[in-house]
Structure 1
Amino acid sequence: MDESNATCGKRLASIGLENTEANRQAFRTLLVSAPGLGNYISGAILFEETLYQSTVDGKKIVDVLAEQGIVPGIKTDKGLVPLAGSNDESWCQGLDGLASRSAAYYQQGARFAKWRTVVSIPNGPSALAVKEAAWGLARYAAISQDNGLVPIVEPEILLDGEHGIDTTFEVAQRVWAEVFFNLAENNVLFEGILLKPSMVTPGAECKERATPLQVADYTLKLLKRRVPSAVPGIMFLSGGQSEVEATLNLNAMNQSPNPWHVSFSYARALQNTCLKTWGGRPENVKAAQDALLLRASANSLAQLGKYTGEGESEEAKKGMFVKGYSY
């Protein structure tokens, strides 16, 4: 739930709400106060506004999360900007002042951080973009650990493109190799990070779709080739997959043994039906929270390999890919 104010505005606009602090506060209050959410969710990544915000009832959001047994975290990157000298690619800014900001976030109750950078397959990716992404993630991770925050390392391979699953696999191998090399160069403690990658899937516009078993096979093969077993957790992003698709793929990955805790760190794939159910109406809050709890419990089962997919709504099966998505 770490969408920037601009991205949160896009979410609110989809249900006809204005992008005001009051509306952002109302939606995030709905999310954190869903009864029993802590049974399925262990951490919540917040945007800076939310970390310092109170609920509509006047309770600090970090306190509400703590009561649920949910650890508060913070998005510390400052977003994507064009990368000069590249093939129309981007880099992630936010290293300037990161140490002092991280210390302040820790004081406010955050215990982990997240930094998202992206690589685009249709645009190359160029060696420059891959190096820049890996180096930025590594510097962020080292600075975060130095200030007591567990860094979530998020090298996202965007879904955009017509390429097949083999192309995604090859690009991801290259990106992850660079990321872990740079983490080591920066003396990042692997036991003290979480990896938040995208799953290995075909491009969103590829005519050949992949089954959950294929996604699991390719993704686990990539993990085994590139990720040190010292890394305790792999928290996959959903990246525009439908709610059900993201859950089915996660479940398939947990059908075979591996050295990591393979779990989820979803935004849209947890929030979408919840948001549509709420629609900004106070009388719909309970139904929206029930929709959120349904998704959270489904993914909780999937990270144990026990999800069946029975009784899912049509809304939950709708894809959420947005071409050229930024946040």
Structure 2
Amino acid sequence: MQQDQLNKMKNGKGFIAALDQSGGSTPKALANYGVSEEAYSNEEEMFDLVHQMRTRIITSPAFDSNYILGAILFEQTMDSKIEGMYTADYLAEKKGIVPFLKVDKGLAELSNGVQLMKPIPDLDETLKRANERHIFGTKMRSVIKEANPSSIKAVVDQQFKLGKQIIAAGLVPIIEPEVDIHSQDKEKSEVILKEELLNHLNALSETDHVMLKLTIPTVANTYKELTEHPRVVRVVALSGGYSREEANEKLKENEGIIASFSRALSNDLNVSQSDEEFNKTLEEAVKSIYDASVNKK
């Protein structure tokens, strides 16, 4: 772990850009960018096109470390290059932005109100490659749809079990138990989730550190105690399907939490935009998300 990167993530002003759409969500991300499924005939061509999109975002002058602390990458992006450099090296060395890697293999089927992560049988090998590619931390996502205490416990148990494996490899895990914004009992789920997270955080050793990526809570500052926990490097928020404007407004109400937005960051970008239009659109998104991350109500 790079101490300067850890200090940046813990104390820096800004947010984390989530550029980690994977196999299942890539066609949707490309379609939103203006690239239809007719533009590619296989998975390799699809990933080439999404890497071109991500390269355009990362190399844009608007993708600036004055506003962006870190970026979460998909595995293919980690193994791809930008201007002759592996993506993580380009981010760290050319941009001063901390690289993270999405390591989960997607969600299992809905069961008892939650979606656990699918098994990650090759996690040790992935972590080894992540270290070789100079990745700082990882991210893995589960989803909570109902306020079922035993199911929420199972989600957090799984996240921290894998989190400890990631810590042992010298990386900082982003624990992401997303609460569905459309959940009928979202507020209740968030209260249960907070308690489960605190139980696991309190059991970590003094040398163990994690980050938390959480849905913006229904009741502002529900997670304030988590932002102050000594084992937590940073609490970041996902946009979860909210528009950028709504996500920003909700985020401003929560002290100590910064953004880690995906769709809310890239939603207005389009392949047909000129570089000037593209950079201006990205700059507007970056600055508004930065503002919501650092300026609280």
TM (norm. structure 1) is 0.75
Match status 1:293 vs 2:283: yes
Secondary structure of 2:294's aligned partner: coil
Aligned with residue 199 of structure 1, among 216, 233, 252:
216
Write out per-residue CA displacement over residues 216-248 of structure 1, whole angstroms, 9 at most, x where no aligned residue.
Answer: xx230x224566531232111110010111112
Write out per-residue CA displacement over residues 277-305 of structure 1, whole angstroms, 9 at most, x where no aligned residue.
Answer: x2x23x52332232122111112222221
The answer for the alignment partner of 2:121 in structure 1 is 96
Task: Verify the 8 A CA contact 1:82 1:88 in the aligned structure 2.
Answer: no
Shift of 1:190: 8.1
Secondary structure of 2:268's aligned partner: helix
Provide the C-alpha distance between the structure 1 equivalents of 2:198 and 2:74, rounded to a whole number of angstroms.
26
The answer for the alignment partner of 2:262 in structure 1 is 267
Provide the C-alpha distance between the structure 1 equivalents of 2:68 and 2:224, rounded to a whole number of angstroms.
26
Shift of 1:189: 5.1
Task: Verify the 8 A CA contact 1:156 1:197 in the aligned structure 2.
Answer: yes
TM (norm. structure 2) is 0.82
Task: Verify the 8 A CA contact 2:253 2:296 in the aligned structure 1.
Answer: no
Provide the C-alpha distance between the structure 2 equivalents of 1:73 and 1:305, rounded to a whole number of angstroms.
25
Shift of 1:93: 2.1
Provide the C-alpha distance between the structure 1 equivalents of 2:205 and 2:74, rounded to a whole number of angstroms.
24
Shift of 1:87: 3.1
Match status 1:24 vs 2:50: yes
Provide the C-alpha distance between the structure 1 equivalents of 2:31 and 2:281, rounded to a whole number of angstroms.
20
Instruction: Count how many residue pairs are aligned between Structure 1 and Structure 2.
Output: 268
Provide the C-alpha distance between the structure 2 equivalents of 1:75 and 1:249, rounded to a whole number of angstroms.
25
Provide the C-alpha distance between the structure 2 equivalents of 1:12 and 1:90, rounded to a whole number of angstroms.
25
Report which of the two has the higher share of strand.
2
Structure ranking higher on relative contact order (CA contacts 8 Å, 6+ apart): 2
Secondary structure of 1:78's aligned partner: coil
Write out per-residue CA displacement over residues 36-88 of structure 1, whole angstroms, 9 at most, x where no aligned residue.
Answer: 52221111100000001013x444322321211111110011110126xx336
Provide the C-alpha distance between the structure 1 equivalents of 2:286 and 2:213, rounded to a whole number of angstroms.
17
Amino acid at match of 2:99: P
Aligned-CA RMSD value: 2.3
Q: Gaps spanning 5+ residues in structure 2: where? A: 1-18, 41-45
CA 1:247–1:88: 2 relative to 1, 3 Å:
closer
When structure 1 is superposed on structure 2, of 70-79 and 99-108 the one drifting more is 99-108
CA 1:300–1:64: 2 relative to 1, 3 Å:
same
